[in-house]
Amino acid sequence: MACFLVPTGEAIVTTILTKAFKSKEKAELTPVSDEIHEAVSSKIPFSKKLSWLNNMLWGGSALLAFEHIWHGEVVPWFPFLTAMESPEEATAMLHEMSTVGVSMAVLVTAVWGIMVMTSDIIMKGKEMDVEGEEL
């Protein structure tokens, strides 16, 4: 009915967070020396990791919105959601958003969390390899 609105809401929040982190990282990433610059650039910035979540949430929401248009659940005129036309359907829609919609957002975020953890482990392994070579 309108389950995609929950991940869309999350996508708006994460996009704002990404912009904030990006400007914070830019301010912090003024290289003092080549050595520091090298150490900093070997890590994946958090804003880059957040952009993975953004892409999954925005992309998924856009494709799901298309599915809702296909099924006639989203229309180009007010109130845009056909479920809003009767109170019973609106209640069912809110129930679906709180169950299916929230589960979608949680699942995508959980998968992103696993991606971030995996990339951190890989980067740590790479760092240890470089340190081992230096010794």
Give the residue with the Cβ less far from other proteins, 36 or 118: 118
Give how far Cα 27 sits from Cα of 3, 24, 44, 50, Å. 38, 5, 16, 18
Give the residue with the Cβ less far from other proteins, 36 or 69: 69
Q: What's the distance, CA 115 to chain centroid?
A: 12
| Residue 117 engages other proteins in binding (rule: CB under 8 A) | no
Q: Which of 52, 75, 116, 119 binds other proteins (CB under 8 A)?
A: 52
| Residue 98 engages other proteins in binding (rule: CB under 8 A) | no
CA atoms within 13 A on the CB side of 41: 9
| Residue 93 engages other proteins in binding (rule: CB under 8 A) | no
**Which has the closest alpha carbon to 3: 103, 72, 106, 78?**
103
| Residue 5 engages other proteins in binding (rule: CB under 8 A) | no
CB atoms within 10 A of CB 42: 11
Least distance (Å) from other proteins to the CB of residue 35?
26
Kindly list the residues in this chain that would bind other proteins in the complex (CB under 8 A): 3-4, 7, 52, 55-64, 66-67, 70, 99-100, 103-104, 107-108, 111
